C-alpha cells in the first residue's frame, strides 16, 4: 500500500452512528476507510454489510481499553499508510490531519448544572489533562461517598463523562496549536444529536445517517481549512462552551 494513499479511521464502527460515518466516508472520502470494532466478528460482519452495498471499507480490530490492540493498530497504520489522515473517535478515546471526537450536547447542558466553581474549571483555557483527570476522579469518589450534589456536580454520570470528552478535546487542540509543525491537525468535539441507537433508544428523532452529518462535516474539512479547531460543534455550527 502506497503511503501516498490517504486513510480515514472510525472507532466503534460496527453499528449505529459509527457505521453510518464509515458508510458516508466510503462514498465521499478520497482514500481508504478503516472500520474498527472491539469484536472482530461483528466488525467483519459490518464490513460485509457495506460490501453488499457496493462499498469497500477495510477492517482492523481495535479495543480502546487494550494497549496491545491500540499498538497493533498503530503499527498497521504506520506500515500501510505511514500515518493517519482522519480519525473519528466514535467509541471513545487514538492522530495526522483531522480528529473528530464524538461527544454530546449533554456535556453542555451538564456543564450548566455544575457549580460556578466547577464551570470555571471546566471552561478554563489553561486546564491541563492531569487536572481534568483529577476532576473526573473526584466526581467518582464524591458519587461513591454520596456527596456529589453537595460538591457541585450534576446528577448524571453520562453528562460528566461527556464534559470530560469535550474538555479533553479542547486540551488536545490547545497542545496541537502550541506545537504545530508541518502537519496541521484540526481537532474538535461534536454532538451528533439524539440518534436512534441501542443506547439512545427507538424514540430518538434522528437516524444514524442524520447523526453522522456533523461528524462527517468535520472529518471532511478542506485540507487548507484553518478551523474550526478546539471547538464544540453541533448541527455543523460552533457552540459556545
Catalytic residues: 158
Phi and psi at 4, nearest 5°, equal -80, -10
Classify 187 in phi/psi space as left (phi over 0), alpha (psi -120 to 50) or beta. Answer: beta
- Strand 86-89 relative to strand 7-10: parallel, antiparallel, unpaired? parallel
- Going by their DSSP bridges, the two strands 7-10 and 32-37 should be labelled as parallel
Q: Are 232 and 188 in contact (CB under 8 A)?
A: yes
Spatial separation of the C-alpha atoms in residues 188 and 191, rounded to whole Å: 10
Q: Angle formed by the axes of helices 157-178 and 129-144, to 10°?
A: 170
User: Cell numbers of 58, please?
Assistant: 477495510
Planar angle of CA 55, 59, 62, nearest 5 degrees: 145
User: Rounded to 5, what percent of the chain is helix, strand, coil?
Assistant: 45, 15, 40
Give one DSSP letter per residue of 194-212, joined into a string.
SB-STTT-TT-SB-HHHHT
Q: What value does the CA radius of gyration of the chain take, rounded to a whole number of Å?
A: 18
Amino acid at each position: 500500500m502506497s503511503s501516498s494513499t490517504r486513510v480515514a479511521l472510525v472507532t466503534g464502527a460496527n453499528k449505529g452512528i459509527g457505521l453510518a460515518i464509515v458508510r458516508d466516508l466510503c462514498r465521499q472520502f478520497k482514500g481508504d476507510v478503516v472500520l474498527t470494532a472491539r469484536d472482530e466478528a461483528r466488525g467483519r460482519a459490518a464490513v460485509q454489510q457495506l460490501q453488499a452495498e457496493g462499498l469497500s471499507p477495510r477492517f482492523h480490530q481495535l479495543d480502546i481499553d487494550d494497549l496491545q490492540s491500540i499498538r497493533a493498530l498503530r503499527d498497521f497504520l504506520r506500515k500501510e499508510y505511514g500515518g493517519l489522515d482522519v480519525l473519528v473517535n466514535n467509541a471513545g478515546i487514538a492522530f495526522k490531519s483531522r480528529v473528530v471526537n464524538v461527544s454530546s450536547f449533554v456535556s453542555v447542558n451538564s456543564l450548566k448544572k455544575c457549580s460556578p466553581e466547577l464551570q470555571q474549571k471546566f471552561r478554563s483555557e489553561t486546564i491541563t489533562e492531569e487536572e481534568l483527570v483529577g476532576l473526573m476522579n473526584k466526581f467518582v469518589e464524591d458519587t461513591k461517598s454520596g456527596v456529589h450534589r453537595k460538591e457541585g456536580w450534576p446528577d448524571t454520570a453520562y453528562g460528566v463523562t461527556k464534559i470530560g470528552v469535550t474538555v479533553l478535546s479542547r486540551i488536545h487542540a490547545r497542545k496541537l496549536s502550541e506545537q504545530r509543525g508541518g502537519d496541521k491537525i484540526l481537532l474538535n468535539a461534536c454532538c451528533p444529536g439524539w440518534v436512534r441507537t441501542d443506547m439512545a433508544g427507538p424514540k430518538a428523532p434522528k437516524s444514524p445517517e442524520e447523526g453522522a452529518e456533523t461528524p462527517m462535516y468535520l472529518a471532511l474539512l478542506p485540507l487548507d481549512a484553518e478551523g474550526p479547531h478546539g471547538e464544540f460543534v453541533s448541527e455543523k455550527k460552533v457552540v459556545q462552551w
